[in-house]
Homo-oligomer: A and B are copies of this chain.
Amino acid sequence: MRQKQTIAIIGTGAVGGYYGALLQQAGHHLHFLLRSDFDQVQRQGLKISSPNGDIILPNVHAHASPDTMPPCDLAIVALKTTANHQLQYILPRIIKDAGAALTLQNGLGSDQLIARLIGPERTLGGLCFLCACKVAPGHIVHQDYGLITLGEFSQKGITPRLESITNLLKEAAIPAQSIEDLKLARWKKLVWNVPFNGLSVLHHCLTDHLISNPALRQLSIDLMHEVVEAAAVCAGIIEPAFIDQMIDNTEKMVPYAPSMKVDFDNNRPMELESIYGEPIRQACACGIEMPQTNALYLQLHQLNGSRSADPVLVN
């Protein structure tokens, strides 16, 4: 039996709370960092409602500050990327010298940021395919799925350390899979995220409308091609058939609200930099422009600015 690990969950929303609860149930020493939900989670613990069986954890180690957290073997980063300004003070303090961080955050940029803060050799990235939402402080409803695919940041290929973390997840009943090429996997996920996140916000609609309206469907496909072309230079080849497959999958899905649409409707900040800004900048640094993606990005920035007290554009 594996030795129990000390694991920090940075950001205890739906993603962090769900996976953290499974890891604690498997016997690891979990430490949850929270802000707004701290009081309630410290008093009442965490509750997961799931078709796989509910999980009730009346006692969890809740922390309002990284200063009270012990040195960890693994830090799982599950903040929204819009809160990434917090990481610079948190991560370097809480990870053991031989420990690592695994970011489950959306889009591009978080891997690089964390590598800068704690070193590329201690950085792993994961993509999670999870339908879950936080319905109250400390109460997460798991609807479906839950796979994490994870890879090394600093090299391609599957290292023993990566395999060991994948196994740790699997032993906690979390479906997990090691991947050879994290960067390519992140770009592949953008093929779907770039069109459907932003367009659902700008057009106040769900995926079904984007797929059935001819003009929006064509724009979605054009944006997907732009991502595939940028990926070819920045990360690797994504077969054009992948676009057809994504369109086909989306056609068959129940009408779905992408995470950016959910954030926008709940008046939370949108993850504009990780889904749009950073991919455009990485492409630009490789000599590739993404004009249609950029147009979407600037419109969303404008929308963000017009909703808040602070204008985004200053001239």
Chain A residues engaging chain B, CB cutoff 8 angstroms:
11-13, 34-37, 79-80, 82-83, 85-86, 88-89, 92-93, 113, 116-117, 267-269, 272-273, 277, 280-281, 284-285, 289, 291, 294, 297-298, 301, 304, 307-315
Q: Which residues of B contact A80 (CB under 8 A)?
A: 314
Q: How far is the CA of A93 from the CA of B82 in the complex (A)?
A: 28
Closest Cβ of chain B: how far from A81's Cβ, in Å?
9
Q: Tell whether A314 pairs with B79 under 8 Å between CB atoms, given A92-B289, A308-B308.
A: yes
Closest Cβ of chain B: how far from A43's Cβ, in Å?
16
Copies in the complex: 2
The contact of A85 among B37, B89, B277, by CB within 8 Å, is B277
Q: How far is the CA of A83 from the CA of B304 in the complex (A)?
A: 13
Tell me if B291 and A89 are in contact (CB < 8 A).
yes
Closest Cβ of chain B: how far from A281's Cβ, in Å?
5
Q: Tell whether A83 pairs with B313 under 8 Å between CB atoms, given A92-B289, A291-B89.
A: yes
Q: How far is the CA of A284 from the CA of B294 in the complex (A)?
A: 31
Q: Which residues of B contact A301 (CB under 8 A)?
A: 85
The contact of A311 among B269, B294, B314, by CB within 8 Å, is B269
Tell me if A88 and B309 are in contact (CB < 8 A).
no
Q: Tell whether A82 pairs with B312 under 8 Å between CB atoms, given A116-B284, A281-B88, A289-B92.
A: yes
Q: How far is the CA of A11 from the CA of B313 in the complex (A)?
A: 10
Tell me if B285 and A116 are in contact (CB < 8 A).
yes
Q: How far is the CA of A88 from the CA of B310 in the complex (A)?
A: 22
Closest Cβ of chain B: how far from A175's Cβ, in Å?
25
Given A85-B298, A268-B310, A308-B309, 18 new contacts (CB under 8 A): A11-B315, A36-B315, A79-B314, A85-B273, A85-B297, A85-B301, A86-B298, A88-B277, A88-B280, A88-B294, A89-B280, A92-B289, A116-B281, A267-B310, A268-B311, A268-B314, A308-B310, A309-B309
Tell me if A312 and B269 are in contact (CB < 8 A).
yes
